[in-house]
Amino acid sequence: MSNIYNYTLEMLEEYFIKCNDKKFRATQIFDWLYKKRIKNFDEITNIKKETLDIIKKDFNIDKINIVDIKKGKDVSKYLFKLEDGRFVEAVLMNHDYGNSLCISTQVGCNMGCKFCESGRLKKVRNLETYEMVEQILIVEQFSKKRISHVVLMGIGEPFDNYDNVMNFIRIINENKGLGIGARHITVSTCGLVDKIEKFMKENTQVNLAISLHAPDDEIRNKIMPINKKYKICDIIDIVKKYIEVTNRRVTFEYIMLDNINDSEECAIKLSRLLKGLNAYVNIIPYNETNNIQYKRSKNDKIIKFYDILRKNNINVTIRREFGSLIDAACGQLRSKYEEDDL
C-alpha cells in the first residue's frame, strides 16, 4: 500500500486508466487532497463506493507527525517524526512577499559539509515524495498560512534524492495540486554536476541555487568534501551551460565563516570567478551550533565582503537572519532529538 501523496497527477491518471476507469478521477482526487484537504478517503462524495474501495485498498492517506514547534520573530521551526521514528525539520519564514517554507529532502546527509549540522548525523535514507509534500500541508494546517514559496534547503542534498524531489516539485507546482509557481520554488545543491545537467533538461522554471561557500578549491576542499569529486571549475562550467540552456539566473550561496572564507582576498577571488555570469551571490551569516567549531563572521567583515562584490559588479544580497535563537540551523533541532534517542 502506497501513500497517495507520493503520486503526481500524471501517475494517478495512469493508475486509473490501468483500473479501467476514467483518468479524470485523478483530478477529482487531487481536488479532495489539495483543495479540500481531506483527512480520509471516506470524505470523498463524488466518486462511487466501488471505486473508493479500490482506492482504499491500494493507497493510504497517513500523515507524518509534528513533535515540536519553536517560534521566533517571523520564523517557526517544525520538527516532524516519521513512521520509522526518524526526525526531519521544516522552517517557515514570513517575508513581505509571502510565506516561505524551507523543507528537508533526506533523513541526514552524506555530503559531509564541515559547517553543517545536517551532515553531522549521516544520511539514513531519502525522504519519500509524500514526506516532503506533507511538510507543506501540515505547516499550512498548523500555521493557518498559505505557503507561497518553497526552498529545498533543509536537511539533505536534494539532488541525492533526485526522482522523489522531482515528483514533489511536480505535485506542488501542479495547478490542481498546491499551485505553487515554479519561480517560487528553489532547489539548492552543493554541486552535483551530473544532476545539475539532468535538471537543466527538465524544462522547468524552478530556481537553482549552488552552495558554493568558497572562492577556490583549497578552501572548499577543507569545508566541503564534495569538492574533491566536483571541483569549482566543474561547477562553473555546468552553471554556464545551465544558464545557456535555460536562460535562468543562478544563485550562489555563500555562508560567512570567521577567518575561513571571509577575507577581502576571498571576496576578490569570488568576484573574478563569477564575473560575467547571469548569477547573484546570497551572503549568509552563519548560524552557530554547539557541536561545530566554526564561528559566524563579524558584521564588519560581512559588510566589507558585500561591498567588494558590489564594486566588482557582482549582484549580491545579504540574507536576512532568521531564528538564531530557535535552533534554526539546518538539522540542529533534529540532532537534539536523534541523539536523545540514541
Catalytically active residues, by annotation: 89, 330
**141 DSSP assignment:** H
Q: Which of 122, 155, 160, 105 is nearest to 339 (CA)?
A: 122
Rounded Cα distance between 118 and 166, Å, is 21
> What are the distances in angstroms from CA 259 to CA 60, 91, 215, 298?
51, 28, 14, 9
Distance CA 199, CA 196 (A): 5
List of E strands, 73-215: 75-81, 87-95, 98-102, 106-107, 125-126, 149-152, 185-189, 207-211
d(CA 187, CA 15): 29
What value, to the nearest 5°, has the Cα angle with vertex 148 and ends 67 and 181? 125
Asked whether 151 and 197 are in contact (CB, 8 A), the reply is no
How do 2-3 and 59-60 pair as beta strands?
parallel
Identity of the residue numbered 228: K
Residue with cell 524552478: 206
What radius of gyration do the chain's Cα atoms show?
21
Local structure of 341: helix, strand or coil: helix
